[in-house]
Amino acid sequence: MRGFRYLRAVDPAAALQAAGTPGAAFIGGGTTLIDLMKLGVESPETLIDVNHVDPGAAIEDLPDGGLRIAAGARNSDVAYHSSVRARFPALSEALLAGASPQLRNMATVGGNLMQRTRCAYFRDVAVGECNKRAPGSGCAAQGGWTRMHAILGGSPRCIAAHPSDMCVAMVALDAVVHTQGPRGARQIAIADFHTLPADHPEIETALEHGELITHVTLPAAPFASRSGYVKVRDRAAFAFALASAAVAVDLHAGRMRAVRVALGGVATKPWRSREAEAVLVGQPARRSSFEHAAAAALRGADVRPDNEFKVKLAQRALVRALETVVGR
């Protein structure tokens, strides 16, 4: 691990001030960053510990029925929070489907939004070609072992899958990411927060250097309480998704008035499928509708022999998720 300067910020202003330094990185739970620093993939010159900027790191009900989650809230605290379980169940289910209990106790919401890919080529500095790690160096995954890679949202420069479960649920719940930066505060819709690799896989979010995530809000959407998360993985627990689906449905007299569909494990970013949503809205909540939606969601898939199975797997995960939530 490369050496770094460690600074502990006591409030957001101090964190922002320190973040102006080139090579500075914020650290929350550290479960991604410390791991990548040990691997030599990340080498910040300054680490700014933001675990003390918001002492309560609270999860609060908002007067309008929404929820405010501090960036420093731990994954386990969010997952077991009574409001999250009752009114935003997809988020609780996604968090509990992720990582291990130890890691969930450490990982923060802000850090999970910034989680980096598990692409084996990205994580191995002995591999010379990785446009995400070394822009312009190439992509070893193209023509490589791609079983864990993305089939949606890739580009010739990068097909690394986004690893987060939490973010997929947040996409289905219309979450809003709130930040403080050198140019003030702003709000970023979760669907716009992560960026597609296109020509710049090294850019993964809409954040600017030095911009700090302060909290996330979940709006009181009519579909939020009928939401859920289905994850398919190689082991029964503690494994990244091969495919996952977060769905949220506003069900009225057997028909779906509003729907959110998001996929994980199959795309380069937490993937909102507006195609699937368009198929479902206004339709009766039955299996044939779900299957049509699943077909629409994967229509643009760009598969390789190693990951062709993900098309059906994702479709079935989506159908299962929809069946589960409408059956509740």
Partner 1 sequence: MDSSRDGSRRAPSFTLRCGREPPVSLERFGGQPIVLALCTGPLATSWRGDVALERGAVRDDDGLGAVRAELRGLGAVLLLVFDDGALCFGPEDEAWSIGPGDARDAADRAAMRARYGVSPGATGLFVIDGERRLRFSYIEVAPRNGTLHTIAGALSATGHIDMSRFTLSRRELVVSSLAAAFALTLIEAPVRAAAPAPAVEVAPGEVEVTLQINGTARRLRVDPRATLLDALRERLGMTGTKKGCDQGQCGACTVLVGGRRVNACLTLAVMAEGAPITTIEGLAGGPALHPLQTAFIACDGFQCGYCTSGQIMSAAGLLAEGHAQTDDEVREQMSGNICRCGAYPNIVAAIQKARKEL
Binding site for partner 1 (CB under 8 A): 1-11, 13-14, 17-18, 27, 30-31, 34-35, 38-39, 47, 49, 51, 74, 76, 80, 99-103, 105-106, 236-238
Q: Hey, is 173 helix, strand or coil?
A: coil
Rounded to a whole number of angstroms, the minimum distance from the CB of residue 9 to partner 1 is: 8
- Closest to partner 1 by CB, 1 vs 125, is 1
**Closer to partner 1 at the Cβ: 51 or 137?**
51
206 exposed, middle or buried (CB, 10 Å; 0-12, 13-18, 19+)?
middle
Given the complex with partner 1, which of 75 and 131 has the nearer CB atom? 75
Considering beta carbons, is residue 80 or 309 the nearer one to partner 1? Answer: 80
CB of 21 to partner 1, least distance (A): 9
- C-alpha angle 273/252/320, rounded to 5°? 45
In which element (H, E) is residue 62 found?
none
Nearer to partner 1, 27 or 170 (CB): 27
Spell out a b/e string for 137-154, using b for 16 or more CB atoms within 10 Å of the CB, else e: eebbbbebebebbbbbbb
Q: How far apart are CA 46 and CA 222, in angstroms?
A: 43
Q: Which residues contact 253 (CB under 8 A, 6 or more apart)?
A: none
Shortest CB 93 distance to partner 1, Å:
13
Residue among 101 and 282 whose Cβ is closer to partner 1: 101
Q: Least Å distance between CB 49 and partner 1?
A: 6
- Min separation Cβ 31 and partner 1, Å: 5
The burial of 191, by beta-carbon neighbours within 10 Å (0-12 exposed, 13-18 middle, 19 or more buried), is given as middle
Question: Sign of torsion, CA 188 194 199 203?
Answer: positive
CB of 101 to partner 1, least distance (A): 5
Q: What is the largest CA-CA distance in the chain?
A: 61
Asked if residue 308 lies in contact with residue 298, where contact means CB atoms within 8 angstroms, the answer is no
Closest to partner 1 by CB, 121 vs 271, is 121
The CB-of-190 to partner 1 minimum distance in angstroms stands at: 26
Record the tokens describing residue 52, joined without a space: 């003390």
